[in-house]
Structure 1
Amino acid sequence: MGSRYSLTFLTYFFYVVTFGSGSSLDEVKIQASLLPKMKREAQCADGVYQHGTITCCLCGIGQRLKEHCTAASSQDTQCERCEPGTYNSQANQDKSCKRCTSCSHVNVGLEVETNCTRGGDTKCRCKAYHYCIVPNNNGCTICSPCTWCGLGGVKVACNSSNDTVCNAKLEWRSYACTGVAFALFTLVVIALIWRNKKLKKSPRIIQSPATNESEREPFNKPVGDPMQYVPAVVEVLGWKTMKDVAHKSGMDAIVIENCELDHPNDAHERTRRLLTIWVERQGMGAMNTLVQILRNGNEYTAQKVMHILSNPV
């Protein structure tokens, strides 16, 4: 009790010396009551927050709140580091950390520019030959493939935020293309007329269809995990055939185009990538489906694929 009176007296004496003898004891008490709060704020490096009637220290960047402080000390706030795959970029009193953004969503044309850390989110950017169509505060959300200008040429090159601007097509090129197309059409018509005259003069030979039914039986053999055959099948397909299979099975054109843009100078790699995506979507029966599609127009390649499936390495 005596020490409390002594502290009040000393505080009053200090205040009188500093601010003058005209101040009352109540004013001294008010100023003295502010001292603990000022001290707490100075002791908390990341700032403070109110928990009921208690002032507690905030958790720092890259941390989350585990337990609030107690009346005994504002500094006994219990904080934990954010788990891998999560972050907090500001001082906080949150019970959980935010989940890191993913740049690997399908068909959005993104790649990682800066990896996520406990103190900051992932930053995504557009892949090569793509530009951002849905930006955000931390990079981009969706990118689109750049426009290909063809023979007209590029006026302004594509960059991360704007699509390609193409030159206006020259009028003489349009006329030239029209003339060439008309000439080819005329030659085709003449060739067809000449062929029909030749057929009328020669006797017809009626040929019976092939009787080897085993070649046209549905191929429906259990082949196990279809992914194991991808490296060998890629060698016999080629990009043009694989692209045709993807179109016939209803695959999105943007997926096919992305494979082509990601590997513009490597036909083997873009064929392998497109076949892998196609097999993932078709499931366990992917190879049987592939054979059936090939047999409707490319029997030679279908036979090669059937040989691979029937004779696994």
Structure 2
Amino acid sequence: MYVSGLRHLYERMTKFPLLVLILIRLLRPTGAFPRPGLDCDYDLEYQSGSICCLNCPAGTRKASPCTRSGQEGKCEECDDGTYIEHRNGLSQCFKCTQCRSDEEIARPCTHVQDARCQCKPGRFCAPEQACEVCKKCSRCEKDEEIVRNCTSTTNTECKKKQLGSASANALTIGLSLFSVFIIGAIIFAVWRCLRTESVRNPPDRRKAGKHDGDYCPTDDGETQSCLNLSRTLEDVEFPTLVAVNGEESLRKCFEYFEEIDYNHYKRFFRHLGIVNNVITSKDDLLPYEDRIHDLLTIWVEKEGREATLNDLLRALLDLNQRRTAETVKEKAVLNGHYSVER
């Protein structure tokens, strides 16, 4: 009976040859299904045809597959500007992230890791928000004090000043008296010089081509240049500042230099040694405040550890911008970034 049943099935199949061909084609294994007996460990391998190849190391990509199972095919290092962080069987590497103009590189891109960007100094972006643009750090009001400085991920935190803060009031009064003393000393020196010269007016000095008011008397009866005396007073009276927290203190003071008059900022940075092409390249790209931040950052990177706030204040004094220098100095001390050297 079993033999007769097989014969009966065979006779039916021969009557419908087209149906048999269709069934054979549908049941034949294709590339869409795993081949019989092929069991790749996809954490360590990738399938290439009917064999399993070992993944390429991180930082490389598959150039060509292996020819025998359990071997590594040809792997090539990712091109510059691309990366792959893990072992893989990919034929292309991923493109590195490009930082925006308002960001700086916190971690450079390598063949095994992507770049990481952060907001430039003076700007921030909260990590829980979509960071499409870095926001400018807030400034505390005159009746407030800083609780926490601005970072690349947090804004400045301020609180109202306490009326009973004797030390803050004493510091403010001391700075005010110090400024009045400097201005008074300069005015007195110039007035004394002009007054004495108008009375004495020595003829030998006029013959030598000197103008009235070029010399001032000293305590021993001799005279010296009023201009030199004024400059000497400035050099002696302007204090030296000491950073509370190194280069970070210097960068926290960048925003104070936004007080520089627009008509003088190019002369200021040329005086610091920044070439004119670098200065003018920022004109059409950034707002004025951002230009100041970028150019100061370039100056700090150029000077390295030698960069100090005293150098910037001296440059302002050399350009007769003493009022701006005084303002920057007072803010740096008042906000706790610098102290006056004693």
Name the TM tier (shorter chain).
Answer: 0.3 to 0.5
Kindly indicate which of the two structures has a greater share of residues assigned to helix. Answer: 1
Give the TM-score normalised by structure 2: 0.36
